[in-house]
Structure 1
Amino acid sequence: MKIKLAKSYGFCFGVKRAIEIAEKSNGAVTYGELIHNPLEIKRLKNDYNVGYVENLEEIDTPKIIIRTHGITKDDRKKLESQGKELIDATCPFVTKPQEIVKEMSQKGYDIILFGDINHPEVKGVKSYSQNQNRTFVVLNASELKNIKLKEKIAVIAQTTRKVSEFLKIVDFLIENHKEVRVFNTICNATFENQDAVKILAKEADVMIIIGGKNSSNTKQLYLIAKENCNDSYLIENEDELKLEWFRNKNLCGVSAGASTPEWLIQNIIKKIKQIKDDDE
């Protein structure tokens, strides 16, 4: 069985930058997980003493790393008022939609934010709106039918969402409203990784997608792989691999989410090879 990596996969610019910041932080604490990959979070804790907390009340250190997904405007103000030293690892591609939401809401536009309302990035972006009641988070175009919108609308996307679904939302808005400002805030790495996994999944007869199961961009890669290759699996580590996935398969495609480190990808490829060797 041949193993083939997607043309584009793994760590994106924002994640690489955040990890470098964390490694140089001299044991600071992250408010929320720095990235959505539990094994990389564990490595940072073990090798660089970078911990994380989920609640502001738990923070008892002077230096705080702001995670790649960003934090809400109110949480930032609270930390600043406490005199904390903020080390900002927010991905620049996340900072941009924050700025857009702030500007367009100030200009009186209704905001449509395509994304998961429970995701930290989306919570942070939404918090920058000057009018929370006129900022709507949706996951698909059908949800828009139940929202009474003004004629001036700005639409943006969570940076890791599926491009095709964003276009459906944009099409619906343009068909039904006079003025729609579209801001494509899906990052380039997401575009490239999604295109690459789609191409590879059409060629492969089994696909392995590696990444945190709480990672939005990894989930999107898995869904795209599954659409094009029925035998597609999402795993976080090599222990989840199963022999039966690879029986009678000729080509195993591998891709990974933007928060997945190269060392983990190589460990899993090594384990896949070992599983096949042991089975033969």
Structure 2
Amino acid sequence: MNIELAENYGFCFGVKRAIKIAEENQNAATYGPLIHNSKEIARLEKDFNVGLTDNYKIFKAGDKAIVRTHGIQKHELEDLEKKGVNVVDATCPYVTKPQEIAQEMSEKGYSVVIFGDDEHPEIKGVKSYATKGALVVTSPEELEGVKLHEKIALIAQTTRKVEDYMKVANYLIPRYKEVRVFNTICNATFENQDAVRKLSKKADVMLIIGGKNSSNTKQLFKISQENCQDSYHIEDEKDLDFSWFDNKNLCGISAGASTPDWIIQNVIDNIKSKNS
């Protein structure tokens, strides 16, 4: 069994930055999961006493609150600051940018359309910065029959597929006088998706490693499945089923932007130990 890693995979700039911030702020707590990887969150709690809460209202004046990579809603950030909480912002700069765009374009009178998952924390945060509201869609079909202003600002969730984003843009452009399309999909997403597309076309079996609730990992898995029928989304080596490798020659591996190297290496070591 040969194992080949995708040309680009794993921790992105924003996640590396957030992990470093968390490690430098011991005895703090993150509001919401810092990243979408439960194993790495457990490591931060064990080694650096960085806790986790889903309720920002529990923070008191003087407490240290780390803002997750996906960002938080504008009113939540304002509430924390008003209470005198020491806010340490680990929001990925690639997420901060669409927040700024949503606010600026909304204030200028544009209808803000966001391509992404309405329930994802990143999109909840971005939407909250649109002062006059925003419409979140996952496909062009969701725009049918919707009344918008003549001027549209289109923003994408940072981890979405560019091909799907363009379908929404191509729907809006001929129907409105002005459509401003902002490329808010991060470079790491582009690179990881291109790499998994390339590798999955030649691999016999593909493993995509990452949290089950990680949006960018799910996108990588979707792309992999399009080219390699035997593609599997796993969180770590415990999810491996070694029957997947029967009569297979090449195992391709990629990982989401929130997947640490130590989990990837554990998966590789386990495969090698069974095939040695």
TM-score, scaled relative to structure 2: 0.98
Q: Secondary structure at the match of 1:146?
A: coil
Q: Which residue number in structure 1 is paired with residue 117 of structure 2?
A: 116
Q: Secondary structure at the match of 1:131?
A: coil
| Shift in Å, 1:146 | 3.2
Q: Which residue number in structure 2 is paired with residue 255 of structure 1?
A: 254
Would the aligned equivalents of 2:7 and 2:195 in 1 still touch at CA under 8 Å?
Answer: yes
Would the aligned equivalents of 1:53 and 1:59 in 2 still touch at CA under 8 Å?
Answer: no
Q: Which amino acid aligns with 1:40?
A: E
Structure-to-structure mapping, 1:41-60, within 5 angstroms: 41-59=41-59
| Shift in Å, 1:26 | 2.0
Q: Which residue number in structure 2 is paired with residue 175 of structure 1?
A: 174
Q: Which residue number in structure 2 is paired with residue 154 of structure 1?
A: 153
Alpha-carbon distance in structure 2 between the residues aligned to 1:141 and 1:271: 43
Deviation digits for residues 68-94 of structure 1, max 9, x if unmatched? 000000100111111100001000000
Would the aligned equivalents of 1:208 and 1:253 in 2 still touch at CA under 8 Å?
Answer: yes
Alpha-carbon distance in structure 1 between the residues aligned to 2:47 and 2:139: 41
| Shift in Å, 1:138 | 0.5
Q: Secondary structure at the match of 2:201?
A: helix
Deviation digits for residues 184-219 of structure 1, max 9, x if unmatched? 000000000000000000010100000001100000
Deviation digits for residues 253-274 of structure 1, max 9, x if unmatched? 0000000000110000111112
| Shift in Å, 1:151 | 1.2
Deviation digits for residues 168-187 of structure 1, max 9, x if unmatched? 11111112222100000000
Alpha-carbon distance in structure 2 between the residues aligned to 1:223 and 1:274: 28
Alpha-carbon distance in structure 1 between the residues aligned to 2:205 and 2:214: 21
Alpha-carbon distance in structure 1 between the residues aligned to 2:183 and 2:233: 27
Q: Which residue number in structure 2 is paired with residue 29 of structure 1?
A: 29
Alpha-carbon distance in structure 2 between the residues aligned to 1:30 and 1:39: 15
Structure-to-structure mapping, 1:120-131, within 5 angstroms: 120-131=121-132
Would the aligned equivalents of 2:59 and 2:85 in 1 still touch at CA under 8 Å?
Answer: no
Alpha-carbon distance in structure 1 between the residues aligned to 2:129 and 2:167: 25
Would the aligned equivalents of 2:114 and 2:137 in 1 still touch at CA under 8 Å?
Answer: yes
Q: Secondary structure at the match of 1:69?
A: coil
Question: Which residues of structure 1 form unaligned runs of 5+?
Answer: none
| Shift in Å, 1:166 | 0.3
Q: Which residue number in structure 2 is paired with residue 6 of structure 1?
A: 6
| Shift in Å, 1:57 | 3.1
Q: Which residue number in structure 2 is paired with residue 215 of structure 1?
A: 214
Post-superposition, which runs of at least 4 consecutive aligned residues in structure 1 deviate over 6 A? none
Q: Secondary structure at the match of 1:172?
A: helix
Alpha-carbon distance in structure 1 between the residues aligned to 2:265 and 2:27: 27
Q: Secondary structure at the match of 1:203?
A: coil
User: Is 1:246 the counterpart of 2:245 in the alignment?
Assistant: yes
TM-score, scaled relative to structure 1: 0.96
User: Is 1:103 the counterpart of 2:93 in the alignment?
Assistant: no
Q: Secondary structure at the match of 2:275?
A: helix
Q: Which residue number in structure 1 is paired with residue 268 of structure 2?
A: 269
Count of aligned pairs: 275
| Shift in Å, 1:244 | 1.2
Alpha-carbon distance in structure 1 between the residues aligned to 2:90 and 2:56: 17
Alpha-carbon distance in structure 2 between the residues aligned to 1:144 and 1:201: 33
Alpha-carbon distance in structure 2 between the residues aligned to 1:32 and 1:146: 35
| Shift in Å, 1:142 | 1.1
Give me the identity figure in percent: 61
